[in-house]
């Protein structure tokens, strides 16, 4: 039966096996590249690329700026599984389809996910082009990838979300961004379904409930990753200030262009932070 917990497990497992049969690399860190940030994958050494359309159960991204390619390669000698592009609820995918790639990486042995996205800035201190590390989220999508019978092989029925965003990883970003000249914020991400950008009244509401950023992705992936016991770092690129804040209308072009403009800054930060995350995972592995 589609959507049952056992099928969730089997889909993740089949996708994972398909990838493992083709790749010699065994990454412990996964990276999801959001809107306009695909160029980050160009920094990989000797990547093996597999199109999502060829991987069993992977969703096909229909969104511009999302290539739909899994690249396995190394960055700073660290093996990485890079998901170039993601599926969104607004494309018509269910939350459990959206998270197949994250679950597949989890079954492959990935233990930490680095998620990136483009988001609208709500916090007045931000400006277009700012990088913001997520400290927490508010799920306003009205949907959740864990709905349905639970499969204990994947995770607990009621996973804790207190430390959804690893505090050590956030610290690594703070320290490394200081080395690189500073300018990284921390904030709370509100997830909506879209696909329309928000109204100014919705943005005032989101600010009132404690959101610093708004976007249409990431939160399902965080929930799925934490459920499976993976650690999470998430970084948003403020592609535009949110509706009603500047007097300007928001355009898709602006969102993609800001991502592209920021790609090299983002890549520099990732190059600095990934070795710290790899070190953390090894320490944890040797302490258990
Ligand atoms: N709202 C929602 N999602 C977004 C935005 C926004 O303003 N910018 C980029 N993704």
Q: 37 vs 218, which has greater pLDDT? A: 218
Averaged pLDDT of the chain: 90
Q: Which atom of ligand 1 is nearest to the CA of 192?
A: 2
47 lines ligand 1 (CB under 6 A): no
108 lines ligand 1 (CB under 6 A): no
Q: Are strands 112-121 and 213-215 parallel, antiparallel or unpaired?
A: antiparallel
Q: pLDDT tens-digit profile of 150-204? A: 988 889 999 999 999 999 999 999 999 988 877 899 999 999 999 999 999 999 9
Least confident stretch, 1-10, 23-32, 227-236: 1-10
242 lines ligand 1 (CB under 6 A): yes
Q: Give Cα separations from 201 to 90, 123, 228, 245 (angstroms).
A: 21, 15, 36, 11
Distance, in Å, from the CA atom of 235 to the CA atom of 199, rounded to the nearest integer, reads 24
120 lines ligand 1 (CB under 6 A): yes
Q: Which atom of ligand 1 is nearest to the CA of 121?
A: 7
Ligand 1 centroid – CA 216 distance (Å) = 7
Q: Is residue 61's pLDDT more than 90?
A: no
The confidence score (pLDDT) of residue 1 equals 42
- How many folded domains does the chain comprise? 1
The confidence score (pLDDT) of residue 2 equals 43
The answer to whether 252 and 144 have CB atoms below 8 angstroms apart is no
3-state helix/strand/coil string of the chain: CCCCHHHHHHHHHHHHHHHHHHCCCCCCEEEEECCCCHHHHHHCEEEEEEEHHHCCCCCCCCCCCCCCEEEEEEECCEEEEEEECCCCHHHCCCHHHHCHHHHHHHHHCCCEEEEEEEEEECCCCCCCCCEEEEEEEEECCCCCCCCCCCCCCCCCCCCCCCCCCCHHHHHHHHHHHHHCCCCEEEEEEEECCCCCCCCHHHHHHHHHCCCCEEECCCHHHHHHHHHCCCEEEEEEEEEEECCCCCCCCCCHHHHHHHHHHHHHHHHHHHHHHHHHHHHHHHHHHHCC
Q: Is residue 5's pLDDT more than 70?
A: no
Q: pLDDT tens-digit profile of 85-95? A: 889 999 999 99
Nearest CA to ligand 1 atom 9: 119
Give the pLDDT band (50/70/90) at residue 136.
Answer: very high
Ligand 1 centroid – CA 179 distance (Å) = 29
Q: What is the pTM of this model?
A: 0.93
Q: Is residue 286's pLDDT more than 80?
A: no
Ligand 1 centroid – CA 58 distance (Å) = 24
Ligand 1 centroid – CA 91 distance (Å) = 15
197 lines ligand 1 (CB under 6 A): yes
What is the domain extent for residue 188? Answer: 5-287
**Which CATH number is 254's domain given?**
3.40.50.1580
Ligand 1 centroid – CA 68 distance (Å) = 20
Ligand 1 centroid – CA 178 distance (Å) = 27
Q: pLDDT tens-digit profile of 73-126? A: 998 889 999 999 889 999 999 999 999 999 999 999 999 999 999 999 999 999
Mutate to test the pocket of ligand 1, among 89, 250, 252, 261 (most ligand atoms within 8 A of CB): 250
Q: Are strands 29-33 and 112-121 parallel, antiparallel or unpaired?
A: parallel
Ligand 1 centroid – CA 241 distance (Å) = 8
Nearest CA to ligand 1 atom 10: 119
């Amino acid at each position: 039966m589609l959507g049952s917990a056992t099928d969730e497990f089997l889909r993740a497992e089949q996708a994972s096996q398909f990838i493992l049969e083709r790749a010699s690399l065994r990454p412990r860190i996964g990276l999801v590249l959001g809107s306009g940030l695909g160029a980050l994958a160009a920094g990989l050494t000797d990547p093996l690329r597999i199109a999502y359309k060829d991987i069993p159960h992977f969703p096909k991204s229909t969104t511009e700026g999302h290539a739909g390619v899994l690249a396995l390669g190394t960055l700073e000698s660290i093996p990485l599984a890079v998901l170039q592009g993601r599926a969104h609820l607004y494309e018509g995918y269910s939350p459990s389809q959206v998270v197949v790639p994250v679950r597949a990486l989890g079954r492959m042995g990935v233990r930490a996910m680095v998620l990136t996205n483009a988001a609208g800035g709500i916090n007045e201190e931000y400006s277009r082009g700012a990088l913001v590390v997520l400290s927490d989220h508010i799920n306003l999508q009205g949907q959740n990838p864990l709905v349905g019978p639970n499969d204990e092989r994947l995770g607990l029925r009621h996973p804790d979300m207190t430390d959804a965003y690893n505090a050590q990883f956030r610290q690594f970003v703070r320290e490394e961004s200081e080395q690189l000249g500073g300018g990284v914020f921390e904030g709370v991400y509100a997830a909506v379904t879209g696909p329309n950008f928000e109204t100014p009244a919705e943005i005032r509401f989101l600010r009132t409930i404690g959101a610093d950023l708004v976007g249409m992705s990431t939160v399902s992936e965080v929930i799925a990753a934490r459920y499976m016991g993976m650690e999470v770092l998430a970084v948003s690129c403020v592609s535009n200030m949110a509706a009603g804040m500047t007097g300007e209308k928001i355009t898709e072009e602006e969102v993609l262009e800001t991502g592209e403009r920021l790609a090299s800054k983002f890549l520099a930060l990732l190059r600095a932070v990934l070795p710290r995350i790899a070190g953390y995972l090894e320490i944890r592995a040797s302490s258990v």
